Chains A and B, each alone.
Chain A
Amino acid sequence: MALLDVQDLAVSFVTRNGTNKAVDGVSFSVELGKITAIIGESGSGKSVACYSLLGLVPMPPGRIDGGRALFEGRDLLQLEESELRKIRGRDIAMIFQDPMTCLNPYMTIGKQLMEPLVYHHHVKKEQARARALELLAEVGIRDPESTIDDFPHQFSGGMRQRVMIAMALINEPKLLIADEPTTALDVTIQAQILKLIAELQEKRDIGVIFISHDLAVVADIADQIVVMKQGQIVETGNRESIFHNAQHPYTKKLLAAIPTDSKQARGGVAEPLIQVRDLCTWFSQDKGKEPVKAVNKVSFDINRGEVLGLVGESGSGKSTIGRSILRLVPVTSGEVLFDGTDLTALEGRDLKAMRRRMQMIFQDPFASLNPRMTVYDTLAEPLLLHGIENRATVGKGVLKLMDDVGLARAFVRKYPHEFSGGQRQRIAIGRALATRPEFIVADEPVSALDVTIQAQILDLMQQLGREYGLTMLFVSHDLAVVRHLADRILVLYKGEVVEQGSGDDLFEHPQQPYTRQLLTSIPGRSLLA
């Protein structure tokens, strides 16, 4: 018998604007000793479905419309809150997406760790502490004795997620619900946490629900995969059938959105458009402290028409390099030659003229558009500023840009908040292209988007890159995406270039240990290769 058996679960949210069916007739089951992955994009209802089982959806506005969720023979949906509370944290435990915000900043991790044990099993403080120390050691916290009385802010993101896992497992639950537990982490840390979850699950022989937006993440660990879209399940199957024999078009689309190929090398002569020489961008801290060397002695070229991928984890300085080239942050030393002109020395009118030739696409489509300007205003501003169109022709120019980036002309007088993330990113791309630039810095342009939208935006960028003859610096933490898009790849670590080469070179013959570590961390590599 299944550990958890969910049948026809339906959850809706009642708001002033009507009722919204978040989960609509969802059925799945979890076996002891197995991992069930629930996959879906934002708004698919994957988290709501699991939270509602434990009574963690606030009601109102939430409402359970029907269904059954049998856990060890009891229907969770019918239990009183007091009964459910006894199950939560004891038989069913949870870990969450963002380890930075999920631990109470005002309590030591030791206290937080012991809390479920003390509350559910009335264990004495000393015993609970001993158990907490054991678990901390088991999840790979070094020197638990001296860190158990530290506060969460003293741990890194990966370490906090380990603490969360220890906290979830301290009562030896039978079911663990992990809600996007690696999404907020760097790729190498993600690999470690995935491995840890799989190991602990196997050792304890418990059931796991692994919620994720990313099929690739669960490729190595899931036994059963449930694909959700808009509150409904579109496909359920074991790992092999989902990855190799997907039936539903949506599943196929999700699979197709995972970039697996490497861009073909381009021919032609290499003529550098951008030459970066010994670039240093340091940020000063308080007096007496060493400055943060975000970018340290970095040199590279970008050839005309080339897409250079810049890969690194958080804190590697990859975004700062892009912003340094565009003069958005003050450069400490070094040169950036654009078509032979040193950008770091330019001021005033000369700088403005150069700015026209290089533009940027930002990560967060919610923050990168002025919320008080219509699409028309946003796109017309660069056209008029640089005299590309005059007052009489600007309307035409705006519409042309909208056509180019695939936005319906009817949206021209709308405001950013009326668009989805993908549409906003299209507007932002349109703004960047408006000045007819030769060079574009794309800073994680798709990492805030759902996977299927990611694929669309990447396609658009490739197509426009060709049409506009763009040279591009593509900054990303995602090696697979970069490999798909870039002619050459630069690997960054702590502000310095570790290795560079074509996608194939790097993937097949990595020279540096850090590059190798990055590569082995790419989720689902074995299955997709």
Chain B
Amino acid sequence: MLRFITLRLLQAIPVILVVITVTFFLVRIAPGGPFDSEKPVTREVKAALEAQYKLDLPLFQQYTSYLGDLAQGDLGPSFKYPGRSVNELIAAGFPVTAELGFYALLVAVGIGGLAGVIAALKPNTAQDYIPMSLAMIGICMPSFLLGPLLVLVFGIHLDWLPVSGWGDIPGDKILPSITLGAGYAAYIARLGRAGMLEVLSQDYIRTARAKGLPEWQVVLKHSLRGGLIPVVAFLGPAFAGLLAGSFVVETIFQIPGLGRFYVQAAFNRDYTMILGTTVFLSVLIVLFNLLSDVLAAWMNPRLRAQFGH
């Protein structure tokens, strides 16, 4: 197992390097410098600014210097918020996004996984059709549509729940978490159902029944593990999707998280912020992918043995 993790970590390094490099040069070749727009600045001021942000150096030196800073965990200063570093902005926004993502993941895995398992136990009955129809709606109802609709119904029409903010009023975390998690709950429900159906049709399930085990033991002890491996393997991609989804959800619900900062930075052409956030999120996604892969492999004794020694 340790070898497997080490191997995957080593493979992750080039991926992260590629991300950093591509992002860096993409941002640098973007048309127009960060200080071109809005109010014109004098040549001297611009030169001073460029010196401050090391834009006067040759491109390759900028790159190596950025890598050097990065190695020390320094993502550099923000272009648009003078005096504030990208590190500070991320430190301010990320905890909120992480919390939102965590709740959304709970919604996705909890509700989705349960629905999938329940549907698979009695395929082609109401117990299957109802959760699966809901899942289909969840898949076809993107967060940027579901969010406003939820706000319209529960926030405005019924006036049950607050429609914006994060941690300001009790209950204001409910709608954003559901909005972000619903689509993934739907996906996980379908994945879980397929996985469980596959396992339940295996010969060893018949063996378990022939032993006289009651159905709940057959499901819990013999089916769940194999059936949910695809769900666990999906958690990595789901995490990446949740982060991207947070861009939208944080915008809809006016949540001061990293996603909203990122979108704002994109509009403001705050290049260091974009660069820093991209690198930060990429590393996070790569690590989470690794984690879910390791977890899925660990759940399978055959793979576990293969990488164990």
Contact = CB atoms under 8 A, between A and B. Distances in A.
Contacts of B302: 105, 151, 153
A98 B206 CA distance: 12
Contact of A93 (B210, B214, B226): B210
Contacts of A59: none
A56 B305 contact: no
Given A98-B203, A104-B222, A106-B299, A154 B305 contact: yes
Contact of A153 (B206, B221, B226, B301): B301
Contacts of A90: 212
Interface in A135-181: 151, 153-154, 164, 167
A98 B299 CA distance: 24
B61 interface: no
B206 A96 contact: yes
Contacts of A85: 212-214
A171 B300 CA distance: 29
Contact of B226 (A102, A103, A105): A105
A88 B203 contact: no
Contacts of B213: 85, 89, 115, 119
B80 interface: no
Contact of A87 (B203, B212, B222, B225): B212
B210 A119 contact: no
Interface in A77-129: 85-90, 93-94, 96, 98, 101-107, 115-116, 119-120
A103 B203 CA distance: 8
A89 B222 contact: no
A151 B226 CA distance: 14
B211 interface: yes
A93 B207 CA distance: 10
Interface-central residue, B202, B204, B207, B226, by most chain A CB under 10 Å: B207
Contacts of B212: 85-90, 116, 119-120
B217 interface: yes
Contact of A102 (B207, B225, B299, B305): B207
A54 interface: yes
A153 B308 CA distance: 15
Contacts of A120: 212
Given A115-B213, A119-B217, A96 B207 contact: yes
A57 to B, nearest CB: 11
A87 B212 CA distance: 7
B226 A56 contact: no
B210 A89 contact: yes
Given A96-B203, A151-B302, A104 B208 contact: yes
Contacts of A154: 305
A74 to B, nearest CB: 15
A417 to B, nearest CB: 21
A154 B209 CA distance: 24
Contacts of A106: 225-226, 299-301
Contacts of B214: 85
Contacts of A103: 204, 207
24 contacts: A54-B210, A56-B210, A87-B212, A88-B209, A88-B212, A89-B212, A93-B211, A96-B203, A101-B203, A103-B207, A104-B204, A104-B208, A104-B222, A105-B302, A106-B225, A106-B226, A106-B301, A107-B222, A116-B211, A119-B217, A151-B302, A153-B302, A153-B305, A154-B305
Interface of A: 54, 56, 85-90, 93-94, 96, 98, 101-107, 115-116, 119-120, 151, 153-154, 164, 167
Interface of B: 202-204, 206-214, 217, 221-222, 225-226, 299-302, 305
The 4 A-B residue pairs with the shortest CB-CB distance, nearest first, are: A89-B212, A88-B212, A89-B211, A101-B203
